[in-house]
Structure 1
Amino acid sequence: MEFLLDTLNLEAIRRWSEILPLAGVTSNPTIIKKEGKIDVFKRIKEVRDIIGKDSSLHVQVVAQDYEGILKDAAEIRKQAGDTIFIKVPVTTAGLRAIKTLKKEGSKVTATAIYTVFQGLLAIEAGADYLAPYYNRMENLNIDSAAVIRQLSQAIEQQRAASKILAASFKNVGQINQAFSSGAHAVTAGPDIFEAGFAMPSIQKAVDDFTADWQAVYGKNHL
């Protein structure tokens, strides 16, 4: 299992990189918008400094046409290095670009996946990661878990190198379901990870243990 953080907020990345077994950081134009009009590639370099060279970093193209996607990808590689994962939406132009980028040796995350068909094509195109949008699919009455299961089965049957990086979550339950359906990785915002530790029973159990120890030994440490 891989846990990635879906944000470019430096404070959040610093905090959660110290807590989580963090496998990487993902971003997209909407994530960037939340940070204001930042110097994007300066921010990417700052993120890399925090998470280290062994964690994956995913940056999305903005252009929608084939030539534009390749130009964006070239700029991303130029500014962020060849270890970056270039996120490309699985459209007709995007799929064509993924094939070209893989031939050039780029690492690619196929994103904006809503259907099994998109995912299967991305696998065949050689995408390193597939990013199905879990909550967005549910909002469209698409069985997100079933989509992930079918893609997972296809990867296993073909012994493909692609991994499923599920994205777009509104709660921890969806993350659990994504993993149980066959996702290899998930990316979620800091608020989702925060919610995962917000259950009052967790803190109560810890407080009870401390109180019991203090009742006997008069201190709150060993």
Structure 2
Amino acid sequence: MEFIVDTVNLDEIRDAVEYMPIVGVTSNPSIVKATSPENFFDHMREIRNIIGKERSLHVQVIAKDAEGIIKEAHRILEEIDNEVYIKVPVSYEGVKAIKALKAEGIKVTATAVYDLMQAYMALAAGADYIAPYVNRIGNLGADPMDLISALSDRIAVDGYDCKIVAASFKGVQQVRDSFNYGAHSITAPVAVLKQIFANPNIEKAVDDFNKDWYSMYGEGKGICEL
């Protein structure tokens, strides 16, 4: 089970990595636009500095043809490092590019997945991660959990070395369901992950524990003051 954050905001990344068990950072052009860094590659290198090599960094191409995707992938790896996962939308040209990149030993995250057969194509092409768009699939009237469950079963039955990284979330329930239906990873905005801790009962329980403790040992006398 992996928690990945979907942002390029440096402050959000620092906060998420410090407080939560975050194993990576994903981005796409729309997410980059939300922060609008002046120098894209400097910004991505700073993200790598924050998260280290032990966490994954996923950077998306913008070219639509296979030749352009491959060229952009090489530039991304040259400018950042060769551990970056190249995010490639699973279009007809994208699958061609995934095959070529995997033949070079490049790490690939197949993204913009809306359909199970689209996911199967990415799987057979050798993608390391496959990213179904949970909320968007639901908005189109389909069930994203059916896709995740079937894809998870196929990965297990055929023994593929690939992880499902569910993406596109509007709330914690979608994150929970994605894991429960077989996703190996999720990538979500930091604000969505922080909602996990927004339950007022958590703070009430802590306050009640503290009240009982201090009623025994005196106000301001914590464990370290005993």
- TM-score with structure 1 setting the length: 0.98
Which amino acid in the other structure matches residue 120 of structure 2?
L
Moved more, 177-186 or 212-221: 212-221
Which amino acid in the other structure matches residue 221 of structure 1?
G
* Identity fraction in percent: 49
Please name the residue that 1:119 is paired with.
Answer: 119
1:14-93 map, 5 Å:
14-93=14-93
Distance 1:189 1:38 in 2: 22
Please name the residue that 1:128 is paired with.
Answer: 128
Q: Which runs of 5+ in 2 are unaligned?
A: none
Distance 2:170 2:147 in 1: 18
Is the 2:172–2:195 contact (alpha carbons within 8 Å) kept by the matching residues of 1?
Answer: yes
- Kindly state the Cα deviation for residue 212 of structure 1 after the two structures are TM-superposed: 1.1
1:104-183 map, 5 Å:
104-183=104-183
Helix, strand or coil for the counterpart of 2:197?
coil
Helix, strand or coil for the counterpart of 1:196?
helix
- Kindly state the Cα deviation for residue 38 of structure 1 after the two structures are TM-superposed: 2.6
- Kindly state the Cα deviation for residue 191 of structure 1 after the two structures are TM-superposed: 0.8
Distance 1:134 1:38 in 2: 31
Please name the residue that 1:221 is paired with.
Answer: 222
Distance 2:214 2:52 in 1: 40
- CA deviations on 1:72-113 (whole Å, 9 max, x unpaired) are 111111111110000000000000000000001100000000
Q: Which runs of 5+ in 1 are unaligned?
A: none
- Kindly state the Cα deviation for residue 189 of structure 1 after the two structures are TM-superposed: 0.4
Distance 1:143 1:110 in 2: 19
- CA deviations on 1:141-190 (whole Å, 9 max, x unpaired) are 11010000000011001100010000001111101100010000000001
- Kindly state the Cα deviation for residue 33 of structure 1 after the two structures are TM-superposed: 0.1
RMSD between aligned alpha carbons?
0.8
Helix, strand or coil for the counterpart of 2:108?
strand
- CA deviations on 1:182-221 (whole Å, 9 max, x unpaired) are 0000000011011111111111111111111111111352
Is the 1:210–1:220 contact (alpha carbons within 8 Å) kept by the matching residues of 2?
Answer: no
Distance 1:162 1:133 in 2: 17
Which amino acid in the other structure matches residue 93 of structure 1?
E
Distance 1:41 1:55 in 2: 18
- Kindly state the Cα deviation for residue 37 of structure 1 after the two structures are TM-superposed: 4.3
- Kindly state the Cα deviation for residue 119 of structure 1 after the two structures are TM-superposed: 0.6
Helix, strand or coil for the counterpart of 1:112?
strand
Aligned length: 222
- Kindly state the Cα deviation for residue 66 of structure 1 after the two structures are TM-superposed: 1.2
Is the 1:6–1:189 contact (alpha carbons within 8 Å) kept by the matching residues of 2?
Answer: yes
- CA deviations on 1:17-49 (whole Å, 9 max, x unpaired) are 011111100000001000124311111111111
